[in-house]
Amino acid sequence: MGRKGKRRRRPSAPERSVQERAPARPERVDKREEPEEQPRPRGLFASAGIPSPYPPLGRTMAASFPRAARDPRILVIVFLFALGLWGAFTAIGAEPSPRVMVVFTALPPISTFFDAILTSSVVPGAVGALAIVVGITIARTIMLLAVIVLTHRAVHEAGAPSPERHTLLGMLGSIFAIQAVELGLVLAVPIVVQAFLGPQVGVLAAWILGLYLLAMAPIIVAVERVSAAEALRRSFRAARLPGFRHTGLVMLYFAFVLWLTSITPTGPVPPATPTLLTWAITLATSVVHVGFLAAFTYRWVSVREQVPAGPRKRSRTG
């Protein structure tokens, strides 16, 4: 009799059926049949004992990471983006250090945060800095959409078809808007948090909060072809599904980024000419970032049926 036998399972959240379900081909629907929303447990640790609808971490990584990492198209896109971003920062005189280069292709909001910080450190004036950050975010949006679509296809062999041109622009706009929201979050939260926890804790808290609530939003746009608002809504709801598995994946990725930025050798003065080792570390870590993106994609497809779509219906009381 293991722990499994002691657990109470909610009949409406059958974990086994979610994991074993063949990945569904996403339907081109804007209004899916809305699953009946279950009453959520209240309180910070109220969902601790409730099984999570997300696949376990090991299964997630094993099923998604290798599929994305074996696709040369994904790797080439991400590697070229890293080169392009280095070129852009170098052109504006920012001289990205190896510790910044390893998060070039990190998931938003971590990557967008560094875009903004690095740009504002060298570009005088808010307007100029904003214009450059917008330009970088547009490039990042295109890269992100391409990688998510390819990752989705790699992880779920019958993934979403290529978007048509008119929907493509809408999807790009939505992912751009989501990144703007994420950037606003990671810049605003530290201002609020630093008053009582200090600026560094504020930044880290903003990264975690951004990843936790919004990591799936660009994936939802690419997979479900929905608007930014709807993607943010569903991402928020997906994050709040019972159990700690989503938190676990977020914390694992956060810990990886933190570890990465602390151990990357940078030398006393970051050289303007990246060495072979610097590039190798940058590109190798890009593979890991893609692996985590694939993991979030895999998990979204696993739980998408359980995440209500559309605005929350106001229930009449009394």
Partner 1 sequence: MRHLIRASVIAACLAVLALPAGASHFGVHSFEDPWPMAGGGPAHESVADGPEPPYRTAWRAGIDAEPIAGPVVGQGIAVIVARGEVIALDPETGDERWRVDRERGPAGHPATVHGGVGLGGLGGPSTPGPGRVWAVDGEGEDTDLVGREAETGEVARRFPLDASSSGGVTIPTLPNVPTPSSIGSVIVGDRDGVLHARGREDGAEIWRAELGGRIDSAPAISEEIVLVTTQEIEERTGRVVALAARTGEETWSFAPEGNVAGFSSVTVVGGVAYVGTGDLSARALDAETGERLWETRTRAPFSPLTMPAIAGDAVVFADVLGHLYLLDRETGEERWLFRVPGFLTRGSPVVVGDHVVIGDDSGQVSAIDLETGHLVWRRDLGEGAAGAIATDGHRLILAPADGPVLALEHDPEGTLLDEPSPTTLFLATALLNYAAAFAAVLAGTLVLFRFLIKPREEG
Enumerate binding residues for partner 1 (CB under 8 A): 19-20, 22-23, 59, 62-67, 69-70, 72, 75-76, 79, 83, 90, 93, 95, 122, 124, 267-276, 278-280, 282-284, 287
> 56: which residues sit within 8 A by CB, 6+ positions away?
245
Minimum distance from CB of 283 to partner 1 (Å)? 4
Q: Considering beta carbons, is residue 19 or 227 the nearer one to partner 1?
A: 19
Q: What would the two tokens of residue 64 be? A: 């998604």
| Pick 43 or 72: Cβ nearer partner 1 | 72
Alpha helices in the chain (DSSP H): 3-6, 15-20, 57-69, 72-91, 98-101, 110-122, 126-155, 165-197, 199-214, 217-224, 228-239, 245-263, 276-303
CB of 64 to partner 1, least distance (A): 8
Task: Pull the structure tokens for residue 295.
Answer: 């993991």
| Nearer CB in complex with partner 1: 153/233 | 153
Q: How far apart are CA 269 and CA 262, in angstroms?
A: 16
- The least distance separating partner 1 from the CB of residue 108, rounded to whole angstroms, comes to 23
Closer of 105 and 174 to partner 1 (Cβ): 105
Least distance between partner 1 and beta carbon 190 (Å) = 16
Q: Which residues contact 154 (CB under 8 A, 6 or more apart)?
A: 67, 68, 70, 71, 74, 294
20 or 33, CB closer to partner 1? 20
Q: Which is nearer to partner 1, 254 or 279 (CB)?
A: 279
Residue 192 Cβ, how far from partner 1 at the closest point, in Å?
Answer: 19
Q: Closer CB to partner 1, residue 209 or residue 295?
A: 295
Identity of the residue, 95 or 138, whose beta carbon is nearer to partner 1 in the bound complex: 95
Distance CA 87, CA 272 (A): 11
- To partner 1, the closest distance from the beta carbon of 2 in angstroms equals 20
CB of 183 to partner 1, least distance (A): 20
Q: State the minimum distance, in angstroms, from the CB of residue 267 to partner 1.
A: 8
C-beta of residue 99 within 8 angstroms of C-beta of residue 72: no
Give the SS3 label for residue 152. Answer: helix
Q: Which residues contact 70 (CB under 8 A, 6 or more apart)?
A: 154
19-25: long-range contacts, CB 8 A cutoff, minimum separation 24: 19/55, 19/59, 19/302, 21/302, 23/155, 23/156, 23/157, 23/158, 23/301, 23/302, 24/301, 24/304, 24/305, 25/156, 25/158, 25/159, 25/160
The DSSP H or E segment spanning 46 is none
The answer to whether 19 and 303 have CB atoms below 8 angstroms apart is no
